[in-house]
Structure 1
């Protein structure tokens, strides 16, 4: 470094590499954010699917219990599945 206005090559190389690194990180960060948002959306999708399956299981269990209760409650003085008159069969 005989001339005081000259900059050492090691310094210019490190600055160039830093700038190149910053520019190259842009697409990588964009891809990372895309993957992250996709993973979050998929996680929410799976959580909603599990919740819907649980709701369907509760509804089917309640329906099964009501049908079993109606089938097993055969009593003469209370209307039930077997004794209630079906619509359209009244005059036959």
Structure 2
């Protein structure tokens, strides 16, 4: 200490050392928090992309099934109209 106080010098030295350690650990803690936050954001982005891809596949499958059903019923409808005129 620079000047004498009523506290024990060992106490003030230990508190000073603890405060120095906390200040020294702060950048590492900040970077650790940044890395965790960034990894969580990237994980959410990957999960959202996977989910969107799965949902688009379901939509494409439904539209394909509807298109095939439409193509198959066009022939049946025209055949039905042609046979209706015959009978």
TM-score normalised by structure 1 residue count = 0.67
Ranges in structure 1 where 5+ consecutive residues have no aligned partner = 79-92
Ranges in structure 2 where 5+ consecutive residues have no aligned partner = none
**1:33 matched to which residue of 2?**
37
Relative contact order higher in (CA < 8 Å, ≥ 6 apart)? 2
List structure 1 segments (4+ residues) > 3 angstroms apart after TM superposition: none
TM-score normalised by structure 2 residue count = 0.71
Number of aligned positions between the proteins: 76
State the superposition RMSD in angstroms.
2.1
**1:1-92 → structure 2 map (5 Å cutoff):** 3-4=4-5, 6=9, 8-73=12-77, 74-75=79-80, 76=82
- Of stretches 66-75 and 23-32 in structure 1, the one that deviates more from structure 2 is 66-75
Structure with bigger helix share is 2
